[in-house]
């Protein structure tokens, strides 16, 4: 960690390392040396230069493995059976770190089954963070290449040294945060479990992995222990860190160490934090105003309990999906509001889903620039590339269309109301992990729709961003322009 620093001034400082845009320092220097030696691993090398395909391959293999393991007899207690659709759905749900659960995670799975879930979530989380980071590096290669008109051999190549460097950072940061969460959780869980240290160790590990990776599976029937701050607070903090994403975490760590003021943070950090803060504040206000007197949610509860629910409701729905029990009790407008929040999701290159906070913020910035008559899209005294804005537009339009089609299909397949279908679609796409009952074991069609939505939600936005940043072939023909009336 000591050598990992985040280089936020891409435009001001140039570096000979291809990955210098968001990592810099000598942590990768050793790995880069290895590239100098003549390498024999051509297959690996070929896959590395195509992070998009590598990502899809990684997840496909893991889905097959996890489904197989969950269908094995040791995963399920003798009195329960696991159908193929249940196993597949649970595997996809765990690997995408979505966390929608159609069976009771405590009673339906044995310790072995729960361990499969744990490892799946961990592999899914590490995988997506690594690949998203690699794709971000590749995008940066592409953008620099487009700006400098490099030769074809220099276009968009990701070196093996980079993959090792990124993997090192991802593993270090992830395990460090998970370890801190584990340690912070243990005393609280020991108290909740009345001194059963063996159970507390297992639950601490389970919660630590689930919270940082933003998958909402719980190890026992008690759910999130929302009444015990010793358990709830570390989980909430860890889940929150998980939704920020690496560029933000690294930038914050670096600026903290260098005692730099917030105005020296990178533009990406500023936009992500500002967007996250506004969304959480809006969620908190919404929940307090609209749900304050919900009789299904608060049967004569005191102000303290209501505030706790509101805080969980403000932080959790964005991606973590813990504490499932009370979600179906919220009012219809709140379901719609939560759908929108889940659709926006968390930070880029994090385990959270959705179109990402930055994507949404850039759409708003494009609108602001248009209305105020500015040609430049500015934020915090920095200009945002037109290409980034176009990527944000494409991601948002495509994902909106996807969620719309998914909701309509769910309505047709299960007869659910629009509110519930939209909620479960957004939850699957945004990897929220909640469900209001559309995902049911006895409706394989709905499960299939949701599983596809989850996979697209996991891989879609970053794949779109990558495909858009591809080195563009020069236009063979440039057509004359013609005006079209809009609006």
Residues 284-323 that bind K ion (CB under 5 A): 321
**Interactions with a second copy, residue window 336-355 (CB under 8 A):** 336-337, 340, 348-349, 355
**Smaller CB distance to K ion: residue 119 or 363?**
119
Q: Where are the alpha helices (DSSP H) in 193-266?
A: 197-212, 229-244, 246-257
Residues facing residue 442 across a β-bridge = none
CB atoms within 10 A of CB 284: 16
Residue 36 binds which entry of a second copy, K ion, none, CB below 5-8 Å type-dependent: none
**109 vs 434, which CB is nearer to a second copy?**
434
Question: Residue 104, Cα to own-chain centre: how many angstroms?
Answer: 24
Q: Interface with K ion includes 214 (CB under 5 A)? A: yes
Tokens 């005006």 correspond to what residue? 483
Give yes or no for residue 285 binding a second copy (CB under 8 A). no
The b/e string for 169-201 (b: 16+ C-beta within 10 A; e otherwise) is bbeebbeebbebbbebbbebbbebbeeeeebbb
Minimal distance, residue 224 CB to K ion, in Å: 13
E strand residue ranges, 309-408: 377-379, 382-384
Residue 386 touching a second copy (CB under 8 A) = yes
- CA 62/CA 91 separation, integer angstroms: 9
Among 21, 182, 212, 309, which residue sits at the site for a second copy (rule: CB under 8 A)? Answer: 21
Q: Tokens 């590239």 identify what position?
A: 35
Closer CB to K ion, residue 322 or residue 466? 322
Q: At its nearest, how many Å lie between a second copy and the CB of residue 255?
A: 15
| Closest residue to K ion: CB criterion | 433
Token look-up 């563009």 returns 472
Which one, 68 or 378, has the nearer CB to a second copy?
378
Judged by CB, which is closer to a second copy: 64, or 418? 418
Binding flag, residue 395, a second copy (CB under 8 A): yes
What residues have CB less than 8 Å from 310, skipping those under 6 apart? 284, 287, 288, 291
The string of DSSP codes covering 29-57 is HHHHHHHHSPP--HHHHHHHT-HHHHHHH
In the bound state with K ion, the residue whose beta carbon lies nearer, of 321 and 460, is 321
Q: Which is nearer to a second copy, 49 or 305 (CB)?
A: 49
Q: Footprint of a second copy on residues 245-274 (CB under 8 A)?
A: 245, 247, 266-268, 271
Does position 14 interact with a second copy (CB under 8 A)? The reply is no
And the tokens for 377?
Answer: 């899209």
| Total binding residues toward a second copy, as defined by CB under 8 A | 90
214 binds, among a second copy, K ion, none (CB under 5 to 8 A by kind): K ion
Contact residue for a second copy among 27, 103, 411, 436 (CB under 8 A): 411
| Candidate list 75, 76, 211, 407; residue touching a second copy; CB under 8 A | 407
Q: Output the six-digit token pair for 97.
A: 């770190």
Which residues lie below 8 Å from residue 12, measured CB to CB, with a gap of 6+? none
Separation of first and last alpha carbons in the chain: 52
| Cβ distance to a second copy smaller for residue 70 or 384 | 384
Number of residues that bind K ion (CB under 5 A): 6
Stretch that binds a second copy, among 118-126, 177-185, 310-318, 464-472 (CB under 8 A): 464-472
**Sign, Cα dihedral of 106, 243, 386, 149:** negative
Residue ranges in 405-444 that form contacts with K ion under rule CB under 5 A: 431, 433
How far is the CA of 343 from the CAs of 217, 280, 359, in angstroms? 20, 14, 11
**Closer CB to K ion, residue 100 or residue 134?**
100
With CB under 8 A as the contact rule, the residue among 197, 370, 437, 440 that binds a second copy is 370
* Contacts of a second copy in 421-450 (CB under 8 A): 422
Residues 6+ apart with CB under 8 A from 9: 266
By CB under 8 A, name the one of 27, 324, 392, 455 that touches a second copy: 392
Site residues for K ion per CB under 5 A: 99, 214, 216, 321, 431, 433
């Amino acid at each position: 960690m000591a050598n990992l620093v985040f280089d936020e001034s891409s435009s001001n400082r140039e570096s000979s390392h291809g990955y210098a845009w968001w990592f810099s320092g000598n942590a990768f220097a050793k790995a880069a040396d290895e590239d100098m030696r003549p390498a024999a691993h051509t297959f690996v090398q070929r896959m590395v230069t195509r992070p998009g395909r590598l990502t899809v391959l990684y997840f496909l293999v893991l889905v097959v493995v996890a489904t197989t393991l969950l269908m094995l007899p040791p995963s399920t207690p003798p009195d329960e059976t696991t159908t193929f659709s249940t196993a597949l759905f649970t595997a996809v749900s765990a690997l995408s770190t979505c966390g929608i659960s159609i069976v009771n995670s405590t009673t339906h799975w044995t310790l072995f089954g729960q361990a499969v879930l744990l490892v799946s979530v961990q592999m899914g989380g590490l995988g997506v963070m690594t690949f998203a980071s690699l794709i971000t590096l590749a995008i940066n290669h592409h953008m620099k290449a487009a700006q400098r008109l490099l030769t074809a051999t220099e276009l968009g190549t990701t070196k093996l040294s980079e993959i090792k460097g990124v993997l090192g950072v991802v593993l270090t940061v992830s395990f460090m945060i998970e370890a801190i969460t584990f340690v912070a959780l243990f005393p609280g869980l020991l108290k909740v479990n009345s001194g059963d240290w063996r159970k507390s160790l297992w639950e601490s590990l389970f919660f630590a992995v689930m919270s940082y990776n933003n998958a909402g599976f719980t190890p026992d029937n008690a759910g999130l222990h929302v009444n015990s701050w010793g358990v709830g607070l570390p989980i909430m903090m860890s889940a929150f860190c998980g939704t920020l994403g690496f560029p933000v975490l690294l930038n914050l760590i670096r600026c903290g160490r260098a005692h730099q003021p917030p105005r020296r943070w990178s533009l990406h950090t500023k936009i992500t934090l500002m967007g996250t803060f506004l969304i959480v504040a809006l969620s908190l206000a919404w929940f307090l105003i609209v749900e304050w007197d919900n009789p299904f949610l608060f049967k004569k509860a005191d102000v303290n309990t209501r505030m706790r629910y509101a805080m969980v409701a403000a932080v959790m729905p964005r991606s973590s999906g813990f504490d499932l029990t009370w979600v179906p009790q919220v009012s219809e407008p709140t379901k719609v509001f939560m759908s929108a929040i889940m659709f926006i999701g968390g930070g880029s290159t994090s385990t959270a889903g959705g179109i990402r906070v930055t994507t949404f913020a850039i759409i708003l910035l494009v609108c602001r620039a248009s209305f105020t008559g500015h040609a430049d899209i500015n934020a915090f005294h920095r200009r945002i590339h037109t290409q980034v804005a176009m990527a944000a537009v494409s991601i948002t339009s495509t994902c909106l269309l996807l969620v719309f089609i998914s909701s309509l299909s769910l309505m047709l397949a299960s007869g659910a109301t629009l509110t519930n279908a939209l909620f479960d679609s957004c939850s699957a796409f945004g990897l929220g992990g909640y469900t209001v009952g559309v995902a049911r074991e006895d409706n394989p069609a709905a499960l299939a729709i949701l599983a596809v939505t989850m996979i697209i939600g996991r891989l879609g936005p970053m794949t779109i961003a990558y495909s858009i940043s591809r080195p563009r072939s020069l236009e063979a023909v440039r057509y004359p322009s013609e005006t079209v009336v809009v609006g």
